[in-house]
Amino acid sequence: MLIPSSDDLWFLPLGGTGEIGMNLNLYGHDGKWLMIDCGISFDEPLVPSYRNGGENVKALHSVVAPDPTFIADQKEHLVGIVITHAHEDHIGALPYLWERFKCPVYTTPFTAEVLRRKLSRSKNANKVPIVEVQGGSIQTLGPFTLQWLEITHSIPEPYAIRIDTPVGSVLHTADWKIDAQPVTGKPFDHSAFRRLASEDILALIGDSTNANKPGFSLSERNCFDGLLNTIKPINGRVVVTCFASNVARLISLAKVAQKTGRYLGLFGRSLLNMYAIAKYRNLWPDDLTIVEPGHLGYLPPEEVMMVVTGSQGEPRAALARMAADTHHQVELTKGDVVIYSSIVIPGNETAVNKVNRALAAKGVSVLHSEQSPLPIHASGHPCEEELKLMYQWVQPEIAIPVHGEKAHLTAHAEIAKACGVKKHYVGQNGDLYRLAPQPSIRRQQVSTGRIPIQQN
Ligand SMILES: [Zn+2]
Ligand SMILES: [Zn+2]
């Protein structure tokens, strides 16, 4: 069994490195482990689509989690689980895997509320000790001292974690971008990261999702402007689909509705859930009202805006039901406009196209963010110039690209190299990154894999 000594500082990813999705990261020092994030992913189709004629897309994708056997077998050495933010690829596996760890979970109030609601639908309701932490706070978990650093991303309350041990300090960025106008939460503040330059950060472990994209990511504010100017000239009903967890986008859409004289209704369980959490956590502006979906049917088209789930073509989500005429409240007709304020995640094209064909057959026009002349979607991950700035601020000795497939990790490592970071390790799940005493990477020290989980 791998056990780190008091001279060692190790990083060991069980999920999310060499792939996008199901993040599960471990840090090891002095006989103890710390877990950062515990997410899910959607597996490759189980049944090739030709076998059922391309229909029944819902059965094709299964939900998977990282195989946690390595750490579950020594859970007595696990000092805690930290959740950096509430995206499914960081939090989604916890309700299913927690029983195998049985240790406290540390996260911020918004993420804690998302987690409590997930747990309430699982067999672990009320069993998981959740410790709520505030931004900037410092905790000691076994031999690790953690500092929560506010950052910006595409969901409320995202955090980077600084981890200090007697043999070295690391910055685990988690998912981030530089957003000067994030619509909800504070603007990105580089001062905390700049300070790290003088504090000998041994390694930066960070997001690679958009490392192969030049420039900077767009701000949520750009997106608001783009949506406003896209929707203003439309006369028909407007239906917008986006990622439910992007509360800033929902607020932007509610503001657009207000400015264009439309009543806004939300359709789909995950949207209503996120809206309720945002209200409960005081993230939702009081002057932005939502109407009951049933009331929209009586209004003229130019006064209606609907935000719906289903941006990835999910067959049971609101948009697919509306497209298939099986939604119990809404029937879309010619003149209505569907706007995708989102991207199509690779692998979901077939499902999205199927929905779009049904919409086109009804005379409903469709606008995708990829084809829009105005920005109507913003990614939550750093592009090349943002990564460069982060490396210039933090100046770590070692760069460890995570949260990406091999091409993303390699692009990230190249950026770190160009910024003067001497050591950079491109690896994958199961590799042991030895940060101290002597930096090195040992390939495939732990067996990893994916396990199916049953979502309810
Ligand atoms: Zn992520
Ligand atoms: Zn994320």
String of b and e for 62-76 (b: at least 16 CB within 10 Å)?
Answer: bbbbbbbebbeeeee
Do 407 and 323 lie in a common domain?
Answer: no
Distance 120 CA to ligand 1 centre (A): 23
Distance 22 CA to ligand 2 centre (A): 11
Do 227 and 328 lie in a common domain?
Answer: yes
pLDDT tens profile 5-23: 999 999 999 999 999 999 9
Distance 330 CA to ligand 2 centre (A): 31
Do 340 and 224 lie in a common domain?
Answer: yes
Distance 157 CA to ligand 1 centre (A): 14
Q: Exposed, middle or buried by CB within 10 Å (0-12, 13-18, 19+), for 282?
A: exposed
Q: Which of 273, 296, 352, 346 is nearest to 320 (CA)?
A: 352
In the predicted structure, residue 54 carries a pLDDT above the cut 50: no
Per-residue model confidence (pLDDT) at position 128: 97
pLDDT tens profile 147-176: 999 999 999 999 999 999 999 999 999 999
363-370: average pLDDT: 97
Residue 374: inside a domain: no
Distance 450 CA to ligand 2 centre (A): 20
Distance 113 CA to ligand 2 centre (A): 16
pLDDT tens profile 392-444: 999 999 999 999 999 999 999 999 999 999 999 999 999 999 999 999 999 99
Do 320 and 208 lie in a common domain?
Answer: no
Residue written as tokens 């999910």? 314
Distance 154 CA to ligand 2 centre (A): 7
Per-residue model confidence (pLDDT) at position 210: 98
Distance 363 CA to ligand 2 centre (A): 35
Do 314 and 281 lie in a common domain?
Answer: yes
Query: Token pair of 214, please?
Result: 């030049």
Question: Which domain, by its residues, includes 137?
Answer: 9-215+379-452
Domain with residue 291: its CATH number is 3.40.50.10710
Question: Which ranges of 285-442 would DSSP assign to H, the alpha helix?
Answer: 318-323, 349-361, 384-394, 406-418
Distance 90 CA to ligand 1 centre (A): 6
**pTM score of the predicted model:** 0.95
| Among the bound ligands, the one closest to the CA of 379 | 2
**Helix or strand (DSSP H, E) at 91:** helix 88-91
Which residues on neighbouring strands pair with residue 338, listed in sequence order?
Answer: 239, 366
d(CA 250, CA 258): 12
**DSSP for 105-117, written as a single string:** EEE-HHHHHHHHH
* Residue 240 backbone phi and psi in degrees, to 5: -115, 135
Q: Residue 396: is the preceding peptide bond cis (ω within 30°)?
A: no
| Among the bound ligands, the one closest to the CA of 37 | 1
Between the alpha carbon of residue 299 and those of residues 264, 303, 335, 374, the distances in Å are 11, 6, 15, 28
Distance 92 CA to ligand 1 centre (A): 11
187-205: average pLDDT: 97
Domain with residue 183: its CATH number is 3.60.15.10
In the predicted structure, residue 187 carries a pLDDT above the cut 70: yes
